Structure 1
Amino acid sequence: MNLNSSVKTMLNGSGTTNNKWSGVAFLIKNKLKKYIIKFVPITERIAVLYLNTAYKPTILLNVYVPPKLTERMLFLEHLDNVISSLPKRYNIIAMGDFNTKIGHDITYKVSNTIGHTTVYNSNDKDGKKLLQICFDNNLKIENTFFKHKPPHLMTFSRGGHSSQIDFFLSNIHSWFADVKAILNINISDHKLIKAHIIIRSDEWRNNNTRRIHSTIRTTPEQPTKWHFTNINKTTYNETICSGLARIIQLFPTKPLEECWSDFKSAIFHAYNNLNHSQIPKREWLSANTKNLILSIKNDRSRNLELWKRI
């Protein structure tokens, strides 16, 4: 393979030197070589590349699902095991020829595994398996989240028939700005698929989340303040222990949410039934500050013209 000197190639495949079959490869620019942690060839159809990116490592998987129907399901099972074994705290991007058709499926659309831009109305058998793999591993099929004209959605063409069988899968949807097929580059019956990825750091994510939350923030519920200084600790402990003992007996038979609600009720009940002094409410403004504001308002109303000049 003749490559530009600025490109580094990592190839994993099988077959003869001049005729590579079922191989997958990564082409990396030499200036990005310093970010490579390691390259792990799993099989001739699966290769894994570990990169050192913004705030945690990113794992790239290059996948080529067998075209033969008899081999696909077994391969997808193996792919599921490979993805499941990867560290979930890392960024994961899987890409390649999956030889499956992903269609409209309301179950996976609700779970946000797929978006609204699906080419087909239904999945084939292997497509359902791929969707289940994505759902189990918290991956999204990025091609389905970006709206384009049909030529930019179809990734494979042969004999006048086009289909979408090449995908990007990822657990970092916020990094993807666009995914589409590139036209007019005919090197095989598969089109090149281009993903526009913006690597975002923790600082960006925190700032962006803060900005979003600021637009929908409502007044939070004030926490209950308890004053334990003047209560009888022994009596309180006995009261709460007797209430919790009854809940613990029912713990195996009740849902966790109900048990937590019962725990809260028992703690509140034990405290409210004891003699205790409540913390007095604090005024936001002192009496002197309120009087000063009132006097300023009165002066302003009496000397409106003077205030306007000021």
Structure 2
Amino acid sequence: MNIRGYRLTIIGVYAVNDDSPTASKDTFFQQLNDEIIKTGKTREIFLLGDLNSRTGKSDNDVTIGKYGEDTLINNGERLIDMCKQNNLRILNGFYQHRNIHKYTWIQGTKKLRSIIDYVITKQKTKLQIQDVRVYRGAICGSDHHLLKAKIFLPYKREK
């Protein structure tokens, strides 16, 4: 996709669960990594979707940011490793919000909540990512909340 001089690749993802067999997870993350490599180094990339990963948080990490959740699971480790290999950034953890605007999935009766849906881009992107946050109340036939990214595409007007 080309938008005003930007060559973009958008990859929508629904990942295997963390409870899935190791072989299934290996296959999924290898296929996802292959798709990312196919995009090349000159294209901008947006990786969006339900990655069934909990990536935790870190104060001094260029991949995950310091505003994520406390929990890190196996799929999260795999996602972080893949992002580090490809110089990608998991944007959810870089913007400070109240918890209701941070958690993408909530199971009310058991009081469970997690961040498992993500927006991921290159670490060195020409795009200006202004915010990533959850919007509650959107009815979309899912138990996940709407995740929205505000992205500015700088461009020069042609005369």
TM-score range, shorter chain: 0.7 to 0.9
Does 2:140 align with 1:190? no
What is the identity, as a one-letter code, of the residue corresponding to 1:161? Answer: L
Does the 8 Å contact 2:56/2:64 carry over to 1?
A: no
What is the CA deviation profile of residues 223-259 of structure 1, one whole-angstrom value per residue up to 9, with x for unaligned ones?
A: xxxxxxxxxxxxxxxxxxxxxxxxxxxxxxxxxxxxx
Does 2:40 align with 1:72? no
- Residue of structure 1 in register with 2:99 after alignment: 150
- Residue of structure 2 in register with 1:127 after alignment: 76
- Residue of structure 2 in register with 1:270 after alignment: none
What is the identity, as a one-letter code, of the residue corresponding to 1:78? Answer: Q
More strand per residue: 1 or 2?
Answer: 2
Please provide the CA RMSD for this pair. 1.9
Q: Which has the bigger relative contact order, CA under 8 A and spacing at least 6?
A: 2
Counterpart CA distance in 2 for 1:105 and 1:95 is 21
Does the 8 Å contact 2:135/2:148 carry over to 1?
A: yes
More helix per residue: 1 or 2?
Answer: 1
Counterpart CA distance in 1 for 2:40 and 2:3 is 15
Does the 8 Å contact 1:65/1:98 carry over to 2?
A: yes
Cα deviation for residue 104 of structure 1 reads: 2.5
Query: TM-score when scaled to structure 2?
Result: 0.85
> Secondary structure, in 3 states, of the residue corresponding to 1:78?
helix
Q: Any gaps of 5 or more consecutive residues in structure 2? A: none
Larger Rg: 1
Does the 8 Å contact 1:58/1:92 carry over to 2?
A: yes
Does the 8 Å contact 2:104/2:147 carry over to 1?
A: yes
Percent identity, aligned pairs only, is 26
What is the identity, as a one-letter code, of the residue corresponding to 1:164? Answer: I
Structure 1 residue corresponding to 2:5, chosen from 45, 55, 72: 55
- Residue of structure 1 in register with 2:117 after alignment: 166
Moved more, 91-100 or 187-196: 187-196
How many corresponding residue pairs? 149
Query: TM-score when scaled to structure 1?
Result: 0.45
- Residue of structure 1 in register with 2:48 after alignment: 95
Cα deviation for residue 117 of structure 1 reads: 0.7
Q: Any gaps of 5 or more consecutive residues in structure 1? A: 1-50, 204-310
